[in-house]
């Protein structure tokens, strides 16, 4: 009964609150029954391409769990930055300080945000300073796909860095789709809405030859960042406006991609992000206004060459990155005036990956990466560290149509110097093994699993931040174990045309986990090696596509995560969930496509959690759940296309905090217009 | 089933009580307040009360008595004292001094002072040290002391002193303030500011050592002031200043974390970087006594001894452990022989005491 009700509620867009776990699995069973009750013989036939395209977010053959948002599925989400989209993945907790310019980082399966590597067009965006990537800085404007892999991407032919993180997010920019003989593609987008958002962007893609094209993309983001928030205890009740949340950001990208021959290609890309923003502080008793400012400048140039042969393939990648961060705090007056901290980072990176096909079913690879990371700062007693990292991964893959086994050994060699310490060289070796198996004749069902251990060295901030960093911090060591299944059916008749489900059970252990607790401002943290965390969880995704008639298509998706992340360090109380980790979380998506119109609904739920180690009333944080709606209209003109979309986010105007005392916006609006020429 | 997955209606924080020891109806000291600082930006400063007559520990008495008074006590409770019938709480990151009725705990007034630190009293005036002399002015790096009338609760005068002033004490008609200069680690302050109470002007600086912090005045006219050193090469120390000569009188090689004065004894918790020791200094003879005020081994088990007070009648010692700072702390009571009598779990970072008679 519950499943039916849930479904009806979903369709109507009024899921206000539900017991997530029970409802989700009941809904899944009901859908499976509905499917099997009808035609199963037509499994292999293709259904409406659009139905699949709009729902296919699961890679069913991947031995490591993969979640993918791309194409239409990505477009129908109400997103401004990559962070907004990643919230819909299962097993993910966003740490979001609110607003357009607020820091947004992702924590996958409670391993911690520093264990997630973010790759932008194939190369890692590395931040040796704090180890985490602010996903609010990556605009959705030119992103074609977002992929999240637990453990690592399902290939052995990749840079060693691809093997070196606890989990990985791959952001890929849009490839051009030139129409006919057209040599140029122009796209202009304008977004506006709440928070004083003004967000124009232009994209120009040019076909130089049949095999070569260039891309230029520029985007400007301005917002005053003001929004209402409310705090109440039932007696005291205050609505105030968030201040100092303004942002001005400019992003510029230029790229060139060429296919030298059928089997080899080369690309180069330049990226510049420049921003100034206010840092809205913690809303505490008697304090609502802040004056701190931040400036960021991120610049990188990256290039990749790839040659795929029948027996031997090679991939070369190189990157130079230069990052600058300035933090001004007028509340701290030193003998030199306002506290004004500047941080510079440079990275040189080079990678070579080789793949050898020994048999039809047997590949081996070796990848070697070298990175040199340097950091300087004007803060007192900063030791200007220099880190040399060599990563070598040897890997093998055995692959038949029904069985895929991938295994690798990663060696991590690090040598670090500071002005005061000449470091010794450290060697670490960690393995990964992953497999996917189709046990029955049907391709619809596969089992999979992986084991991965990884070693994360502390970041420069964790080690050397004056008075906060702890040079004797232990490295984090994590082990992940996962088993799961994937299930996918597509049909070309009936109402339900496509359904895919993936479910994984996992157990992670993190030793010497470094926990960062926010302190005076967002840049400063106090470091704790809280010892050990034991994580157990189950996560599940279901996507479905429904065909009503030739003009009406419906899609729906659910994701759900149950996760225990207990502090298991010596002396810790039993069964204490680590901070900001809910037991239950999930999301639901539903969309209706009718001719050139589409209406989409999404729901995100994060269950109750605690903001400090002790699971007691004074640390309790309320669950939050937001409902978002959008409507889009697409008008194909002769050679052009016009898209207009409107969003209402947080429809029920729920006031909530993701991070305690950093209020999130209530109901807000966005309007989006895109003209493609 | 829905209870755990939905949001609840907002309710004021409630008081929690537990009986910790057997009360004594005839106790001369009726009880004491304990101020929990709470972590920076968590808005978790809280006020607890222990009733000696009943042995009951009441948690969170500020929020339950003042549900209408904004978002609780605020962020980082830095100091607390009772003067007359009023309880003064200095809430550092909430930029305010909260004035309560010491019996009912009802808010009387909130006095806004940016980045306020410590408080002391004389002749119906309260004196509060604060880091900021003018907000938003890069040249206004010096701190102030604000003089507040304890009846009208209005700020009457301000005096500009050294940078980032901390501990504050009064001897005779002079106010002494320990300047830290903590915002400029390459250029710490190393002086005590001397303020004439009549003219309310800074008349002198006494050179002591870098990064001064806590300060207490004994009945003999001596100031006990701690230096935190530079956390690297320069070791923290405890200095004794004679206010008659305004000269350094004695130096103790002690890294004092926290201290309190009761009668002729200064109780100090010291860290040498490895472990803590629990010392007593006789302030009449200015000598370190050859005994610890904890004798039963409990001292070695404390993670972060943080706040200390001595019951002025029974001489029992109250000592808090802030633990990992992000967990609730613990309050211990030791008898005069240094044996643990009782302990109780507190709020986050229990730190400051005020006795009720």
Is it the case that residue B90 has pLDDT exceeding 60?
yes
Nearest to A295 by CA among A321, A322, A323, A327: A327
φ, ψ for residue B283 (rounded to 5)? Answer: -80, -15
Question: Which A positions 252-271 lie with beta carbon below 8 A of chain B?
Answer: none
3-class secondary structure for A84-144? Answer: HHHCCCCCEEEEECCCCCCCEEEEECCCCHHHEEEEECCEEECCCCCCCCCHHHCECCCEE
Please give the pLDDT value at position A458: 86
CB within 8 Å: B326 and A528: yes
Tokens of A481: 């174990």
Place of tokens 């088993």: A483
CB within 8 Å: B326 and A380: no
Please give the pLDDT value at position A131: 86
- Render pLDDT for A191-236 as a digit per residue (tens, 0 to 9): 999 999 999 999 999 999 888 999 999 999 999 999 999 999 889 8
Partner B contacted by A38 (CB < 8 A): no
Picking from B11, B95, B185, the nearest residue to A234 by CB comes out as: B11
Pairing outcome for strands A167-173 and A116-120: parallel
Chain B residue with Cα closest to A586: B5
Place of tokens 């993190």: A510
The answer to whether the CB of B100 falls within 8 A of the CB of B91 is no
Contacts of A331 in chain B (CB under 8 A): 115, 132, 135
Contacts of A20 in chain B (CB under 8 A): 5
Contacts of A614 in chain B (CB under 8 A): 327-328
Q: Which domains does chain A have, with CATH numbers?
A: 8-676 (2.40.170.20)
The residue-averaged pLDDT of B311-321 equals: 97
The answer to whether the CB of B67 falls within 8 A of the CB of A233 is yes
Q: How far is B148 from chain A (nearest CA, A)?
A: 19
Chain B residue with Cα closest to A654: B7
Partner B contacted by A234 (CB < 8 A): yes
For chains A and B, CB pairs below 8 A equal 152
CB within 8 Å: A618 and B325: no
Please give the pLDDT value at position A434: 97
The answer to whether the CB of A534 falls within 8 A of the CB of A568 is yes
Cα separation, B267 vs B289, whole angstroms:
10
* Largest CA-CA distance found in chain B, in angstroms, rounded: 72
Please give the pLDDT value at position A9: 30
Partner B contacted by A470 (CB < 8 A): no
Q: Is B156 left (phi over 0), alpha (psi -120 to 50) or beta?
A: alpha
Please give the pLDDT value at position A525: 45
The answer to whether the CB of A215 falls within 8 A of the CB of A176 is yes
Contacts of A18 in chain B (CB under 8 A): 2, 5
CB within 8 Å: A18 and B5: yes
Picking from B7, B75, B324, the nearest residue to A285 by CB comes out as: B75
Question: Which A positions 6-35 lie with beta carbon below 8 A of chain B?
Answer: 17-20, 22
Please give the pLDDT value at position A42: 35
Residue B274, C-beta contacts closer than 8 angstroms, at least 6 positions apart: none
Cα separation, B31 vs B49, whole angstroms:
7
- The alpha carbon torsion through B198, B204, B205, B207 (nearest 10 deg) reads -120
Classify the C-alpha dihedral B342-B346-B349-B355 as positive or negative: negative
Residues of chain A with pLDDT under 70: 1-58, 466-472, 515-526, 528, 530
Question: Which A positions 283-312 lie with beta carbon below 8 A of chain B?
Answer: 283-287, 291
pTM summary value: 0.91
CB within 8 Å: A654 and B328: no
CB within 8 Å: B71 and A284: yes
More confident of the two residues B315 and A90:
B315
CB within 8 Å: B187 and A335: yes
CB within 8 Å: B71 and A236: yes
CB within 8 Å: B328 and A467: no
Helix (H) or strand (E) holding A627: strand A624-636
- Render pLDDT for A508-536 as a digit per residue (tens, 0 to 9): 999 987 765 433 333 334 676 767 899 99
Nearest to A63 by CA among A361, A438, A434: A434
CB within 8 Å: B136 and A291: yes
Please give the pLDDT value at position A10: 30
CB within 8 Å: B71 and A231: yes
Cα separation, B162 vs B191, whole angstroms:
8
Residues counted in chain B = 357
Picking from A22, A232, A660, the nearest residue to B42 by CB comes out as: A660
Give the pLDDT band of residue B108 (cuts 50, 70, 90): very high
Long-range pairs for B193-201: beta carbons < 8 A, 24 or more residues apart? B193/B161, B193/B162, B193/B165, B194/B246, B195/B145, B195/B159, B195/B161, B197/B122, B197/B170, B197/B173, B198/B173, B200/B147, B200/B157, B200/B159, B201/B159
Contacts of B115 in chain A (CB under 8 A): 331
The residue-averaged pLDDT of B102-126 equals: 97
Please give the pLDDT value at position A484: 96
Please give the pLDDT value at position A471: 61
């Amino acid at each position: 009964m519950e499943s039916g009700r849930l479904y009806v509620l979903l369709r109507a867009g009024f899921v206000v609150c539900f017991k997530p776990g029970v409802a989700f699995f009941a809904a899944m069973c009901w859908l499976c029954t509905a499917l099997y009750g009808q035609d199963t013989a037509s499994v292999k036939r293709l259904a409406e391409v659009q139905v699949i395209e709009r729902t296919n977010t699961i890679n069913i053959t991947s031995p490591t769990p993969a979640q993918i948002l791309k194409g239409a599925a990505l477009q129908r989400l109400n997103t401004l930055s990559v962070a907004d989209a990643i919230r819909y993945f299962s097993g993910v907790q966003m740490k979001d300080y609110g607003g357009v310019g607020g820091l947004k980082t992702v924590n996958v399966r409670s391993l911690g945000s520093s264990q997630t590597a973010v790759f932008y067009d194939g190369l890692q965006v590395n931040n040796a300073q704090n180890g985490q990537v602010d996903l609010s800085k990556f605009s959705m404007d030119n992103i074609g796909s977002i992929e999240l892999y637990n453990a690592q991407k399902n290939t052995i032919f990749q840079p060693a860095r691809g093997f070196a993180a606890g989990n990985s997010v791959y952001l890929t920019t849009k490839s051009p789709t030139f129409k006919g003989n057209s040599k140029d593609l122009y796209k202009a987008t304008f977004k506006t809405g709440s928070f004083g958002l003004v967000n124009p962007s232009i994209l120009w893609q040019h076909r130089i030859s049949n095999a070569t094209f260039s891309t230029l993309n520029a985007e400007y983001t301005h917002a005053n960042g003001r929004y209402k928030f409310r705090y109440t205890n039932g007696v005291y009740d205050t609505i105030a406006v968030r201040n100092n949340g303004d942002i001005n950001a400019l992003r510029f990208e230029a790229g060139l991609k060429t296919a030298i021959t059928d089997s080899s290609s080369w690309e180069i890309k330049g990226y510049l992000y420049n921003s100034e923003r206010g840092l809205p502080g913690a809303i505490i008793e008697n304090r609502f206004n802040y004056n701190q400012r931040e400036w960021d400048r991120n610049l990188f140039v990256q290039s990749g060459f790839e040659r795929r042969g029948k027996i031997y393939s090679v991939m070369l990648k190189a990157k130079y990155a230069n990052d600058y961060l300035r933090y001004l705090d007028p509340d701290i007056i030193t003998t030199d005036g306002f506290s004004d901290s500047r941080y510079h980072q440079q990275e040189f990176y080079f990678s070579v990956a080789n793949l050898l096909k020994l048999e039809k079913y047997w590949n081996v690879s070796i990848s070697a990466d070298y990175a040199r990371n340097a950091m300087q700062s004007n803060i007192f007693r900063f030791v200007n560290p220099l880190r040399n990292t060599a990563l070598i991964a040897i890997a093998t893959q055995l692959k038949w149509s029904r069985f895929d086994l991938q295994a690798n050994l990663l060696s991590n060699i690090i040598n670090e110097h500071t002005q005061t310490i000449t470091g010794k060289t450290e060697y670490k070796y960690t393995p990964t093994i992953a497999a996917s198996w189709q046990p029955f004749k049907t391709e619809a069902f596969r089992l999979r699993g992986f084991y991965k251990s990884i070693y994360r060295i502390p970041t420069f901030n964790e080690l050397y931040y004056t008075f906060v960093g702890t040079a004797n911090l232990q490295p984090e060591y994590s082990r992940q174990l996962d088993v799961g299944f994937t299930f996918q059916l597509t049909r070309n008749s009936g109402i339900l045309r496509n359904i895919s489900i993936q479910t994984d059970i996992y157990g992670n252990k993190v030793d010497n986990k470094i926990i960062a607790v926010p302190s005076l401002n967002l840049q400063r943290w106090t470091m704790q090696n809280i010892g050990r965390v034991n994580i157990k969880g189950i996560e599940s995704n279901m996507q479905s596509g429904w065909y009503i008639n030739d003009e009406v298509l419906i899609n729906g998706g659910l994701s759900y995560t149950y996760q225990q992340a207990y502090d298991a360090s010596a002396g810790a109380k039993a069964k204490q969930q680590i901070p900001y980790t809910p037991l239950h979380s999930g999301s639901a998506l539903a969309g209706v496509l009718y001719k050139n119109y589409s209406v989409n609904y999404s729901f995100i739920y994060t269950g109750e959690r605690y903001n400090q180690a002790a699971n007691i009333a004074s640390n309790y944080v309320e669950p939050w759940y937001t409902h978002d709606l959008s409507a889009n209209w697409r008008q194909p003109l002769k050679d052009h296309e016009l898209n207009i979309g409107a969003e209402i986010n947080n429809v029920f105007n729920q006031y909530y905090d993701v991070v305690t005392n950093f209020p999130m916006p209530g109901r807000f609006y966005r309007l989006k217009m895109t003209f493609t020429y | 089933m829905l209870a755990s997955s939905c949001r609840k209606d907002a309710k004021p924080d409630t008081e929690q009580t537990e009986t910790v020891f057997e009360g004594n109806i005839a106790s001369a000291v009726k009880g004491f307040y304990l101020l929990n600082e709470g972590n920076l930006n968590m808005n978790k400063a809280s006020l607890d009360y222990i009733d000696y007559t009943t042995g009951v520990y009441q948690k969170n008495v500020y929020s339950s008595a003042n549900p209408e008074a904004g978002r609780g006590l605020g962020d980082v409770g830095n100091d607390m004292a009772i003067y007359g019938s009023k309880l003064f709480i200095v809430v550092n990151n909430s930029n305010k001094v909260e004035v309560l009725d010491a019996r009912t705990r009802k808010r009387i007034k909130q006095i806004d002072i940016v980045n306020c630190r410590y408080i002391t009293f004389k002749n119906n005036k309260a004196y509060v040290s604060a880091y900021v002399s003018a907000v938003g002015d890069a040249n206004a790096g010096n701190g102030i002391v604000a003089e507040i009338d304890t009846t009208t609760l209005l700020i009457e005068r301000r005096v500009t002193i050294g940078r980032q002033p901390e501990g504050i004490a009064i001897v005779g008609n002079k106010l002494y303030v320990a300047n830290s200069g903590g915002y400029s680690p390459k250029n710490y302050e190393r002086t005590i500011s001397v303020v004439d109470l009549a003219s309310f002007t800074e008349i002198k600086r006494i050179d002591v050592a870098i990064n001064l912090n806590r300060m207490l005045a004994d009945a003999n006219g001596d100031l006990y002031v701690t230096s935190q050193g530079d956390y690297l090469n320069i070791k923290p120390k405890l200095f004794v200043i004679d206010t008659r000569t305004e000269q350094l009188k004695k130096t103790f090689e002690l890294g004092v974390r926290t201290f309190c004065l009761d009668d002729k004894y200064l109780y100090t918790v010291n860290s040498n970087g490895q472990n803590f020791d629990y010392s007593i200094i006789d302030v009449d003879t200015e000598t370190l006594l050859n005994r610890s005020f904890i004798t039963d081994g409990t001292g070695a088990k404390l993670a972060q001894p943080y706040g200390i007070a001595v019951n002025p009648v029974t001489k029992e010692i109250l000592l808090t452990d802030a633990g990992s700072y992000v967990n609730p702390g613990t309050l211990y009571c030791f008898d005069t022989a240094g044996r643990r009598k009782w302990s109780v779990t507190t709020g986050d970072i229990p730190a400051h005491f005020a006795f009720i008679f």
